[in-house]
Structure 1
Amino acid sequence: MTRSLKAFSRLLDERDGAVAVIVAIVALPMLLAVGAAIDFARAYNVRTNLQSAADSAVLAAASKYEKNMPKSKIARTIASYLSANVESKGAVAGEPEVSDDRTELCIDVANSVPTTFMQLARIETVPVSVRSCALLPGIRQVEIALVVDVSSSMIEEDRFEPMLNAVSAFIDAFSSDEAMKGKTKISLVPFSSRVSIGMDNTDWLKAYNGTPAVPERWTNPKAYYENGKLARWVDGSTPVVDTSKNYYWMGCIEPRADVEVKEKGSVGSLGASDVSPKTSAFVPQDANSQSGKSYCPPPITSLTDDFTYLQKAVSNLTSQGSTRLDAGVVAGWYTLSPRWKGVWEDESTPVDYDDSVQKVMVSMTDGQMNAKKTTDKFDWLCLHTSSEAACNDRALDVMQDSCSAMKKNGIEIFTLSYSNEADVKNIRKCATSTNHFYTASPSTIEAVYQTIASVIGADAVRLTQ
């Protein structure tokens, strides 16, 4: 007999009968209330476990769904998963519900929890029920931004070619998947100390700092690099000059954070923003005479389902320059943000944030933030900072603010650290979760990219409720 029951018994044994009657009248409802709380707590725990079981069942059914599949077949899959789960023994699932547009599958699952104390009030069970919904496969669109570090360390440390092979295999994983064809678009965002918008997008620029919107160096590169070999990017319009020292690409822009520091003394609302150039035009890199004009990567390839073009862009990447992680991350956002719909070549993308589309950024780097505060290369971001380290901290703040804003908008971020010298702390922090952070070496990078591709493909089926 419990301590509380013994105390109750002693009170009933009191010689004063009136006291015993009063205690009995008051104590019984109190015991029922305490007992009901215990029973409802048990019911709550059962409901939590039932929700987990229902979620697993609806995901399993959604992953096996085929067009016009009979509801009876869907119901059998759900029932088998529920019966295999010890927490949902005795649970009953209602008829599966497939939305009219065949984008979502929902189920209601009910069970009952036997009571203990509440049986004193002739309440033998507490009903519990849950609802779970999942997106159906083959319906959801996927937009992926591949942000790749092409700084000079990549080729100097023999990491560049393995990375190209890995990214190419990643694209193949989606182009060869019949279920993903027509549903997947991928952008390629090479970055080093800057990003290039390419010569097809010079109308995004503004004259600045006494220089024209489109620098003469971009339109007449032969006059600047007399001994270089002139070629064109895969877009057919962006020039590159290949000399014995470097690849001189055109079309790079100053990061907006740098421009804000120059104009206002600090990073403002644009530095970590996805505002399109229709709202705020970009400043050409040449407007900063100290930014190091040679350190410009190949142009961004906006979202496309032309995987042949993407593979050509990957195979033509070059490696040079320092590492502005913030520039790469923000540019990746540009290719995914609905604010840029109709700004890029494809008028239909990026689409709006919605459950019908999965937006993903996969960002890879082998280094640390490397803003320049030297005599020959000076980033405007470093104005008013005491040291290059302080300047890098400012750039990291911009990067993390951009990552946070993307995650708030539902963009899933995978990050990949590609060397022992990489800034693991900040790379991991940018990722959606610790499970979205990966490390790689030249011998493992292709396997890592394949793992990420598999995770993204699996995410095409996911819970919505």
Structure 2
Amino acid sequence: MSRSTVTEKLLGTIRRLQSGRDGASLVMVALAAPLIIGSLALAIDTGAWYMEKRRTQQMADAATVAGVRVIKSGGSATAARQVALNDAKRNGYVEAASHSFTLDSPAVTGPYAGQPNTVEVTISRPLPRFFSPVAATASARSVAYKPAILGKNLEVAMMLDVSGSMRYDTELPGITKLKAMQDAAKALIDTVVQDQQTPYTSRVALVPYSSAVNVGTGTIGSVTLFKKVTNLTIPTTTSGYGQNATTIQWSSVVERTGSAQYTDDLPEANKYLGDFYGYRSWGISTNQPSAASTIQSLSTSRDTLKATIDGLSAAGSTAGHLGAAWSWYLLSPKWASLWTGGSTPNSYGTGTYKAVVILSDFDMNTYYRGSDSSTTQTRKLCDAMRTAGIVVYTVGYNIPANNTRADGLWKDCAYDETKRYSANTVSELLAAFRAIAQATLNGALNDDIRLGE
């Protein structure tokens, strides 16, 4: 109601009172007019303020929900603020000197303070005044959060570079690249693997790789996994003499060729993987079997996964395409018959979020079979995994500035710039793995977003 309309109504009331025939009416007019005018003015301003405060709260609520959508997708607080501000504007907020808009993620006050996947928005704006001489302000605070409840299964395979260059020191005295990677990988496990494994599971698999990938000497029924994937018996050699003699079982494998090279087809006739032992003449002797160097299929045991990571050692060259291929095989439902018990991968589709995390300097320099280089093979495998529905994250660790081939592979494998991370320091590597861990967890969380207190 405009001020002119209110004034006309008040004047009409006064005229009706003036039409009275006795002097008492005039006295009543004189006495009542200020009271009537004041009451109506107060009612109008109070009603308007109430409506504006409700609008302000709606602005804040809309902003927090928009902000949480960004945060849960791995976006920064800066990006969340811009999206939230835009939503507030769509609900009537105006940027001006007398207005304020703040966003914090995580929330800083209330019962959700400090919790991940929370956004707190506070909006303040002046209230309109029709008659009141006193300036008033409407303030609203809103907190929105995404419950940390899995809405689908989560499967993450970590492809960990254990080539010889990982023995080198980082910028921190006494901390090698391998140690930095181990700490970062364990931090990812702590975030991804949930305490509650029902009704949805959250599992991690590990693929250490250097010159080859070691599948170990474990059996499936009465047949070794090595036999299943190569159709060969594990080669055995003896090192040393007499009581000091040591038997080595060469259970490491290399790539396959032919039509199955860039697929997750089961290994069978014309699709078997190659045997690493046959390439020892190259002087390559890394990835000899040990409990520490073998692949680890999908597991819900943080202790088992961390023990495998703690036992890793670094040696050899970088056959990254082998790590990429086995990361896929460990997540592929086509390979379900090769993984037993709780290691069996779920089907592709909306019920499971599958992700591969590739850590490397991306200088892939070793391959064995076929005409495609390790770089080309890795790129093709990354493309094929994404086509199958697997999300690929890359962590480029100390990629040389002048190595355009490595830089290109790092970018191409993740494809989406929000899925690739660069790290040159220990703290950056840890931050990258933590961000990826949260991003993968967000991908499997229930899509519900709620307003908090």
TM-score, normalised via structure 2 length:
0.58
Q: Distance in 2 between matches of 1:455 and 1:277?
A: 32
- Aligned residue identity for 1:213: L
How far 1:186 moved relative to its partner?
A: 0.3
2:362, 2:409 within 8 Å by CA — same for their partners in 1? no
How far 1:212 moved relative to its partner?
A: 8.9
Structure 2: runs of 5+ lacking an equivalent:
1-61, 73-83, 93-145, 170-175, 449-453
Q: Distance in 1 between matches of 2:317 and 2:423?
A: 20
1:59, 1:463 within 8 Å by CA — same for their partners in 2? no
**Residue aligned with 1:199, SS:** coil
The 5 Å alignment of 1:7-86 reads 85-86=88-89
Q: 1:216 to 1:453 in 2, by over 3 A?
A: closer
Q: 1:203 to 1:175 in 2, by over 3 A?
A: closer
Q: Does 1:168 align with 2:168?
A: no
Q: 1:305 to 1:380 in 2, by over 3 A?
A: same
- Aligned residue identity for 1:161: K
Pick one of 427, 431, 445 that aligns with 2:410.
Answer: 427
Q: Distance in 1 between matches of 2:86 and 2:159?
A: 44
Q: Does 1:273 align with 2:268?
A: no
Specify the structure having the higher radius of gyration (Cα). Answer: 2
Q: Distance in 2 between matches of 1:458 and 1:339?
A: 26
Q: Distance in 2 between matches of 1:176 and 1:348?
A: 16
Q: 1:167 to 1:83 in 2, by over 3 A?
A: closer
**Residue aligned with 1:326, SS:** helix
Q: Which moved more, 1:393-402 or 1:426-435?
A: 393-402
- Aligned residue identity for 2:274: V
1:272, 1:399 within 8 Å by CA — same for their partners in 2? no
How far 1:336 moved relative to its partner?
A: 0.8
Corresponding residue number in structure 1 for 2:273:
282
Q: Distance in 1 between matches of 2:88 and 2:243?
A: 68
Q: Does 1:437 align with 2:420?
A: yes
**Residue aligned with 1:459, SS:** helix
1:286, 1:293 within 8 Å by CA — same for their partners in 2? no
How far 1:199 moved relative to its partner?
A: 0.5
**Residue aligned with 1:168, SS:** helix
2:324, 2:382 within 8 Å by CA — same for their partners in 1? yes
- Aligned residue identity for 2:177: R
How many residue pairs align between the two structures?
305
- Aligned residue identity for 2:433: Y
Corresponding residue number in structure 2 for 1:224:
239
How far 1:369 moved relative to its partner?
A: 1.2
Q: 1:161 to 1:407 in 2, by over 3 A?
A: same
Q: Distance in 1 between matches of 2:188 and 2:239?
A: 38
Q: Deviations over 1:389-434 (max 9, x none)?
A: xxxx633222111111111121111100111337121011100411
Q: Deviations over 1:268-322 (max 9, x none)?
A: 3222121223563333212335354512261110111111111110111111110
- Aligned residue identity for 2:396: S
Q: Deviations over 1:316-350 (max 9, x none)?
A: 11111100111111110011111111211336621
Q: Distance in 2 between matches of 1:307 and 1:147?
A: 17
Q: Distance in 2 between matches of 1:460 and 1:272?
A: 27
- Aligned residue identity for 1:446: L
1:163, 1:442 within 8 Å by CA — same for their partners in 2? no
Query: In percent, how many aligned pairs have the same letter?
Result: 25
How far 1:463 moved relative to its partner?
A: 6.8
The 5 Å alignment of 1:186-197 reads 186-197=204-215
Corresponding residue number in structure 2 for 1:252:
252
- Aligned residue identity for 1:272: Y
Corresponding residue number in structure 1 for 2:5:
none
**Residue aligned with 1:342, SS:** helix
Pick one of 292, 295, 316 that aligns with 1:321.
Answer: 316
Q: Distance in 1 between matches of 2:213 and 2:329?
A: 11
How far 1:254 moved relative to its partner?
A: 2.1
Q: 1:228 to 1:355 in 2, by over 3 A?
A: farther
- Aligned residue identity for 2:266: S
Q: Distance in 2 between matches of 1:350 and 1:304?
A: 10
Q: Does 1:213 align with 2:228?
A: no
Q: Which moved more, 1:307-316 or 1:336-345?
A: 336-345
Q: Does 1:362 align with 2:380?
A: no
- Aligned residue identity for 1:174: V
How far 1:179 moved relative to its partner?
A: 8.5
1:198, 1:252 within 8 Å by CA — same for their partners in 2? yes
Q: 1:229 to 1:426 in 2, by over 3 A?
A: farther
Q: Distance in 2 between matches of 1:437 and 1:155?
A: 24
Q: Does 1:451 align with 2:430?
A: no
Corresponding residue number in structure 1 for 2:154:
142
Q: Distance in 2 between matches of 1:207 and 1:304?
A: 21
How far 1:151 moved relative to its partner?
A: 0.1
- Aligned residue identity for 1:337: S
Q: Which moved more, 1:406-415 or 1:170-179?
A: 170-179
2:297, 2:343 within 8 Å by CA — same for their partners in 1? no
1:254, 1:285 within 8 Å by CA — same for their partners in 2? yes
Query: What's the RMSD between the two structures over aligned residues?
Result: 4.0
Corresponding residue number in structure 2 for 1:233:
none
**Residue aligned with 1:435, SS:** helix
2:211, 2:284 within 8 Å by CA — same for their partners in 1? no
Q: Does 1:295 align with 2:279?
A: no
- Aligned residue identity for 1:255: E
Q: 1:169 to 1:181 in 2, by over 3 A?
A: farther
Q: 1:250 to 1:307 in 2, by over 3 A?
A: farther
1:303, 1:346 within 8 Å by CA — same for their partners in 2? no
1:143, 1:186 within 8 Å by CA — same for their partners in 2? yes
TM-score, normalised via structure 1 length:
0.57
Q: Distance in 2 between matches of 1:148 and 1:212?
A: 26
Corresponding residue number in structure 2 for 1:402:
381
How far 1:178 moved relative to its partner?
A: 5.5
